[in-house]
Structure 1
Amino acid sequence: MSISARLDVIGIITADMAAALAFYRMLGVDVPAGADGEPHVEASLPGGLRLAFDTEATIGSFVPGFTPPAPGGRIGLAFLLDDPAAVDAAYAELTAAGHHGELAPFDAFWGQRYATVQDPDGNGVDLFAPLPAEARTP
């Protein structure tokens, strides 16, 4: 038997909707204006996917016995940036705005400029861009 399905929505459970939306807006996600106080918010992503945010209370309203996940155990996302300098700039901007820098930008052995910041719920958000061929380590 084969299941016919396609990935359509990536969901994030958040303790603070306004803080989560502000963070993802900084990364260029087109979150609807005025959505900060809503219990459920969706943003369309390139390629047809949607990114959905639900408050812990929303999930608790239909999942019996729901216990919010521990910080950092909710999801992991990775954002492709234009070039290595953009990774450094995004990391600097996000950490200057008060978001925790989990992994400062570095040239990864797999050929990317790579960094990780945490969103307001402690989820790791990776920032990456391919390194120029001459900068890659063999």
Structure 2
Amino acid sequence: MTEQTPPTTRTPRFDLIGLVVSDMAASVAFYRRLGLDFPEGAEHQPHVEAELPGGLRFALDTEATVRSFSPGWQPPASAGRAGLAFLCAGPAEVDATHEELVAAGFESELKPFDAAWGQRYATVLDPDGQSVDLFAPLAP
């Protein structure tokens, strides 16, 4: 009779959303404008994290950091398929946040509009071309 290993009860826990960035200072500035709290001096670090509600973390790593453990790494041809979305306090905040980011030099992918699914919605691009959605429920 062979002894069987008991099944593991450990389940991986979703813990971190990470982006690889080409310009840490520009990326930290962009995400700070959206309310993420990076430590002082983060713009000069190779890896930074901001805690999100519920203990989830949002991390930025420079391309050089990734290449330090994966020397052949190259940035993808596009920003990829991941989506980031920030809930705003209301439709007016969607418009104001979009306007502030565009005025600061970030590119608008979708100007604010009232979506058929009942939200005010807009999309801006972060410094590396990652789509970042801004949304809020429309007033009833």
Does TM, scored on the shorter chain, surpass 0.5?
Answer: yes
Aligned pairs, number: 133
Q: Matched residues in 2 for 1:92 and 1:71: separation?
A: 24
Report the Cα distance in structure 2 between the residues aligned to 1:82 and 1:123, rounded to whole angstroms: 22
Cα drift, residue 130 of structure 1: 0.4
1:78 maps to a residue whose letter is A
Q: Aligned AA for 2:69?
A: F
Q: Cα offset for 1:87?
A: 0.2
The aligned residue for residue 47 of structure 2 is 40
| 1:111 alignment counterpart | 118
- Secondary structure of the structure 1 residue equivalent to 2:19: strand
Matched, 1:66 2:73: yes
Greater than 6 Å deviation, 4+ residue runs = none
- The 5 Å alignment of 1:1-138 reads 4-73=11-80, 75-133=82-140
Q: Is the 8 A contact 1:73 1:123 kept in 2?
A: yes
Gaps of at least 5 residues in structure 1 are 134-138
Query: Which secondary structure state, in structure 2, belongs to the residue aligned with residue 30 of structure 1?
Result: coil
| Displacement after TM superposition at 1:46 (Å) | 1.2
Q: Return the alpha-carbon distance in structure 2 between the equivalents of residues 71 and 14 of structure 1.
A: 13
Shift of 1:71: 4.1
Measured after TM superposition, the shift of residue 6 of structure 1 is 1.8
Question: Which structure has the bigger radius of gyration?
Answer: 2
**Alpha-carbon distance in structure 1 between the residues aligned to 2:108 and 2:10:** 39
Percent of matched pairs sharing the same residue: 63
Alpha-carbon RMSD: 1.5
Partner Cα separation in structure 2 for residue 68 and residue 3 of structure 1: 33
Deviations 1:30-82 (A, max 9, x none): 01111111110011111111000000111111114111223422742000000
